[in-house]
Structure 1
Amino acid sequence: MLPVRRCAAVLAVLVTTTLLLAGCGGDDGQGSNADPDQVDAVEKPELGACRMLTPDDVAAASNASKVVDCADEHTAQTYAVGGLPDQLSDAGYDDEKIGAWAYDTCAKQFEDFLGADESLVMRTVVSWAWFRPSEKAWEDGARWYRCDVVGGGEQSKAYVPLPEETKGLLLGKPDDQWMVCAAGPSVSGSVKIPCTEAHDWRAISTVKLGEPKDPYPGDRLSQVKTRDFCSEQVAAFLNYPVDYDFGYTWFHEAEWQAGNRRSVCWARTNA
């Protein structure tokens, strides 16, 4: 008898890409607990620095939150800093090209820093944010970027504390506290939580829908390919039961243009 495969939900929202690509332009604040010496700093930020960031802090273009000892409680750590490439030196403060370049740069270094591949970083509760100088510092010639790993994603109301050292966090078989699960009757609209908490769904794999230079295949093809692949992936993950539920998260053209080429497969399971 063939297994009964029920599609539980579709979540058509990219957790981080659109927000991070946009760069959250404007200087509406420099973050909670701002350090006056960092607010309009022209020099590059400190690599490896830890901070207590909130989702509101990450929603700003710039951040000057005070650095804390990484042995103390913190929710963010800077994993990459540097100068913008020469071709962007004359770009406007909110130029989308800067956001696109920062997205590509921070995303690649995020994978390398955590010891993960593209699939794994889409299934972890940690994410990344990037910051640019303040508008005043920009006018004074500052052209740096800063990438931080943070203990949560776009849907997080608060971030979880990170370990003293986050480098290599996802090497080998990652601990469940860093992997994403969901609590709720369906994947869509459910609360995304660490897999160490009581949950109904686990993100178990991703499906690659295309290569970097490929054109967007269209909503229908993206959804169907995701659905069919995830059905088989979840069946294998659950050891081919007669009856099972699965969900999938697929993304639209805006996220494709931002660089995302993968959908996420979810298995209904409490383990």
Structure 2
Amino acid sequence: MLRTAVRSLLVTVAAAALVAGPSLADAAPAQRAGDPTFHMPEVGSCHVVTAKQQAAFSASNRSVPCSSRHTSQTIASFRLRGKVDWKNTEALWSKVARKCYPAMRAALGTDAKTRAMTSYDILWFGPTAAERRQGAKWLRCDLVLRGTKRLLPLPTDDTPLVPVPVPDSVAMCQTDRWITVCASPHTYRAVGAVRLKGKFPGSAKLERIAVRRCPDLVSTRKWRYDAPSSQAWRHGDKVLVCLAKTRR
């Protein structure tokens, strides 16, 4: 289930992270009924998550070799303790965020500004109703690469997820409504980033910061910005990205 909601035209309303770098490991989930880790995907396992599954609470945990085509890689999975209210997605997301943001930073590497200017994001999922009836109590975070409404394939070799300089195949651009890579048609391109600090300033102050700082980073009359949510900020995502209008 996507809980790092697609970054909006002006400001990120929910996220972008998760531990250990990319691996070619294939998942071997536990199969014992009554085990809280029943069918819990392993960190490093790769999957094919469809566009339809992005908004679902659960997605297939069947893994594929990371050397073959895949659209997500599990970068954090963890067991939940105590009684779980599966309908309280806000509380579940709070638990996910503590694990996912650090794991995403570890998986992508490089520096905060460079990471923020890519189209990488995270999705999170829980067990299916059938798995929960078998005792499953876990959450999973997957690294994905956004391409408007769909997910793009992740690298299948040993190349870095974020090469420097960042290529258009992973660089963050936006259409009028969606995040995508700059290799696809787009109307805005990330051209600069501002690293911030301190407590979360709120959306109004973030907008004032963007108005003050972005004109020095863009060369076009029209521009927009992408800023972290309060949850993302709490877990270390404190970068505001400035996007310039393009003709592509």
Q: In which range does the TM-score fall when normalised by the shorter chain?
A: 0.7 to 0.9
SS class of match (2:146): coil
Asked if 1:203 corresponds to 2:201, the answer is: no
The offset of 1:144, in angstroms, is: 2.2
Gaps of 5+ in 2: 1-7, 18-30
In structure 1, the residue matched to 2:24 is: none
Find 2:230's aligned residue among 253, 256, 265.
Answer: 256
Which digits, 9 at most, give the CA deviation of each residue in 1:228-270, with x for residues without a partner? 11112235xxxxxxxx435122559xx3255464432012456
SS class of match (1:109): helix
Gaps of 5+ in 1: 1-9, 21-36, 184-188, 236-243
Determine the C-alpha separation between the residues in 2 that align with 1:167 and 1:104: 27
In structure 1, the residue matched to 2:153 is: 161
Change (3 A) 1:261 1:71: closer
Point out the structure with max Rg over C-alpha.
1
Change (3 A) 1:143 1:77: same
Change (3 A) 1:98 1:182: closer
Amino acid at match of 1:163: P
SS class of match (1:224): helix
Q: Which runs of 4+ in 1 moved over 4 A?
A: none
In structure 2, the residue matched to 1:266 is: 243
Within-5 A mapping of 1:13-162: 13-14=11-12, 17=15, 42-84=38-80, 88-95=81-88, 96-152=90-146, 156-162=148-154
Determine the C-alpha separation between the residues in 1 that align with 2:99 and 2:62: 24
- TM-score, normalised to structure 1, is 0.67
Determine the C-alpha separation between the residues in 1 that align with 2:109 and 2:232: 23
The offset of 1:140, in angstroms, is: 4.1
In structure 1, the residue matched to 2:171 is: 179
Asked if 1:230 corresponds to 2:206, the answer is: no
SS class of match (2:70): coil
The offset of 1:15, in angstroms, is: 6.5
The root-mean-square deviation of aligned C-alpha atoms, in Å, is 3.5
Structure with greater helix share of residues: 1
Amino acid at match of 1:149: L
SS class of match (2:143): strand
Determine the C-alpha separation between the residues in 2 that align with 1:89 and 1:165: 40
